[in-house]
Amino acid sequence: MIRFASWNINSVRLRLPNLLRFLDEFKPDVVSLQETKTENIHFPLKALEEAGYPYAAIEGMKGYNGVAILSKYPLHDIKVQHWCGKKDARHISAIVEGIELHNLYVPAGGDIPDPDQNPKFEHKLNFIKTLTDFFDETSIKNRPTVILGDLNIAPLETDVWSHKQLLDVVSHTPIEVDLLNKMQNGSNFIDSIREIIPPNEKLFSWWSYRSPDWTKNDRGRRLDHIWVTPPLASKIQKAQIIKDMRAWVSPSDHVPVMLDLN
């Protein structure tokens, strides 16, 4: 069994104690982080190696974005991809234990769900379109592949606290959901979390810092995902979202999602 985890950590240096606690308690084999928010030279590699993760692939930048893969097993064929004419540390990939792994941080998209009025939203839509073409052109569906990360879109009605109230809120708008569905269907990606947790069940991985009491309101969204290609479909054993971590001291606004492959 190999356990994959994905977490938008919202600053790896600020939340290093939480990361080390997570690694100790949940023991993932491979961890993909988003929003590491640090240049490579400042990434806490030594502490993570001491925690049992001697292999790492990192791509960061000062104060923003950033992606990383931490592993107990060797990482091969590490690649950093740049999309939409920007070098903004949003996509890193590697081969681990024969599985192709893509760690993604899709742009959030700003507040206005109109690409003509909001360049950030336009960037988000173009980023997803470009990824869709990339996965199609490389015939990724034919290889054992895991893609995971903060996709910044909650596709199902049960992936948000209120479908009706969020239809015009960035992350759940029809245009975003349609594009994400096209990317998923184009390469036959399987939403591993929803293979285990039924689609009719409310499920969130993000709660806003703006909410005064996130546990009482529970106004979350499922923005973090782990998908697999058909060659791994029969290997899905367990999937979970670690909701309790949102209540840890100095939490990220996201919590980890995990997948066990048999």
**Is it the case that residue 211 has pLDDT exceeding 80?**
no
Between CA 173 and CA 97 the distance in angstroms is 37
Model confidence at 53, in pLDDT bands (50, 70, 90)?
Answer: very high
User: Residue 212: is its pLDDT beyond 80?
Assistant: no
Query: Is the Cβ–Cβ distance between 122 and 85 less than 8 Å?
Result: no
Q: Residue 227 — very low, low, confident or very high, per pLDDT cuts 50/70/90?
A: very high
Neighbours of 50 (CB within 10 A): 11
Across the chain, mean pLDDT equals: 97
Measured CA to CA, the distance from residue 10 to residue 223 in angstroms comes to 14
**CA 182/CA 131 separation, integer angstroms:** 11
For the chain, how many structural domains are there in total? Answer: 1
Supply the range of the domain harboring residue 135. Answer: 2-261
Output 241-245 pairs: Cβ under 8 A, ≥24 positions apart.
241/193, 241/197, 241/203, 241/204, 241/205, 242/22, 242/26, 243/204, 245/18, 245/22
Q: How confident is the model at residue 215 (pLDDT cuts 50, 70, 90)?
A: confident
Instruction: Write out the H or E segment, with its range, that includes residue 137.
Output: helix 119-137
Q: What is the CATH number of the domain that holds 38?
A: 3.60.10.10
Could you give the 3-state DSSP secondary structure of residue 119?
A: helix
